[in-house]
Amino acid sequence: MLFEQILFFVAAIGALAGALGVVLLRNPFYSVLSLIAHLVSLAVLFLLLHSEFLAAAQIVVYAGAIMVLYLFVTAYVGGTDRTFVRGGEMGLTGQFGVIMAGALFVVISLAILGSSLDALDTRGPDVDPGFGSPGAIGELLLQKFLIAFEAASFLLLVAAVCAVVLARRRRGLES
């Protein structure tokens, strides 16, 4: 129990620090690295929620594959500092954005605390050991949520075709 709490707070501080790093670091390359730290911390939190398969997917797919793609594009495009918000000269829209984000947090927190869900203040029901394992996820995915699974695969196909269309060198459209 105590170990669980310590792990939660360490992972939560890691996730928050990673998120703040993404927003505040000026070089986008460091932002991507900070997001990787954030995703690994989130995977620890997923493990605390008995979502073993999603934690593994988070590390392998997100922190592994997608972030490598990000790093490649960041290195290709080149991170120059001139296009980013500098510390002192954030401007009116920047300040407005920060205020709006704070207001968003307050509103979401009020919604959570005002939802009067009694189960929110518990650890959740006791689940059997197979909860969140690849077997349980696969069973749900191929039986109860088969249509969502097929729609997701179709969405991935569309995204792959879109990426090819967007990234190829084309004539005519550019001239």
Partner 1 sequence: MNVVWFVVLSALIFAIGAAGVMTRRSPLVILLCTELMLNACNLALLSFARMHGSGDGQIFALVVMVVAACEVVIGLGLIVAIYRKRMAIDVDALSELRG
Q: Which residues contact 81 (CB under 8 A, 6 or more apart)?
A: 26, 27
- Residue closest to 81 by CA, chosen among 134, 154, 15, 31: 31
CB atoms within 10 A of CB 148: 11
Between 124 and 172, name the residue whose CB sits nearer to partner 1. Answer: 124
Minimal distance, residue 151 CB to partner 1, in Å? 8
Minimal distance, residue 173 CB to partner 1, in Å? 10
Between 83 and 88, name the residue whose CB sits nearer to partner 1. Answer: 83
Q: Which residues contact 128 (CB under 8 A, 6 or more apart)?
A: none
Minimal distance, residue 136 CB to partner 1, in Å? 6
Between 84 and 172, name the residue whose CB sits nearer to partner 1. Answer: 84
Minimal distance, residue 172 CB to partner 1, in Å? 13
As a whole number of angstroms, the distance between CA 42 and CA 172 comes to 45
